[in-house]
Amino acid sequence: MEISYTVDDKPQPWARARTGAGRYFMPVKVVHAKKAHANIAGPLAASSMWDPEWPIALTCDFFFPIAASWPKWKQEQAGREELPHLARPDLDNLVKLVKDALGTDSATRRAIVWRDDCLVTRLRASKWYSLRPRTVVTIVRA
């Protein structure tokens, strides 16, 4: 059984909650990115009879936009998705956002895809440049 989906937007890393006016809040970009993942993956998991207790093998591929200031040869190489993304954000923070987004919803206490991050027993992740910024996630039963 497999769940696979794409979020067509620049990959967003996880970020800590911030404080302001005496309260904690999550950065807006993080909230929107988590909702994008949950809104796509949640219905896929529900329609496929996915069990939130299964062990998970997670694959995440992150594709970043190409800088317009690069030389043409480098832009072409990046456009073929052959150039790894060697800058920030860190790969672990990108994966952390995906894992947070697909875990238990804090408002409803329901599992979106899995009950807890500890169920992810295998992980493969990569960062690349592309003409089409996006995040591609594949989840299979481990």
6-21 residue pLDDT tens = 999 999 999 988 887 8
Q: Report whether 137 contacts 58 (CB < 8 A).
A: yes
Q: How far is CA 98 from the centre of its chain?
A: 4
Instruction: Please give the single-letter amino acid code of residue 12.
Output: Q
62-102 residue pLDDT tens = 999 999 999 999 999 999 999 999 999 999 999 999 999 99
CA 134 vs CA 21, 108, 114, 137, 141: distances in Å: 34, 28, 22, 10, 23
Give the mean pLDDT of the chain.
93
- Where does 1-142 show beta strands of DSSP type E? 2-7, 18-20, 23-25, 56-64, 120-129, 134-141
Residue 106: pLDDT over 80: no
Q: What is the mean pLDDT of residues 22-49?
A: 91
The residue with greater pLDDT, 36 or 49, is: 36
Q: What is the mean pLDDT of residues 2-7?
A: 96
Alpha-carbon distance of 137 to 61, in angstroms, equals 7
pLDDT of residue 25: 82
pTM above 0.75, yes or no: yes
34-43 residue pLDDT tens = 999 999 999 9
- Cβ density class 94-117: b for 16+ within 10 Å, e for less: bbebbbbbbbbeeeeeebbbbeee
The CATH class of the 2-141 domain is alpha beta
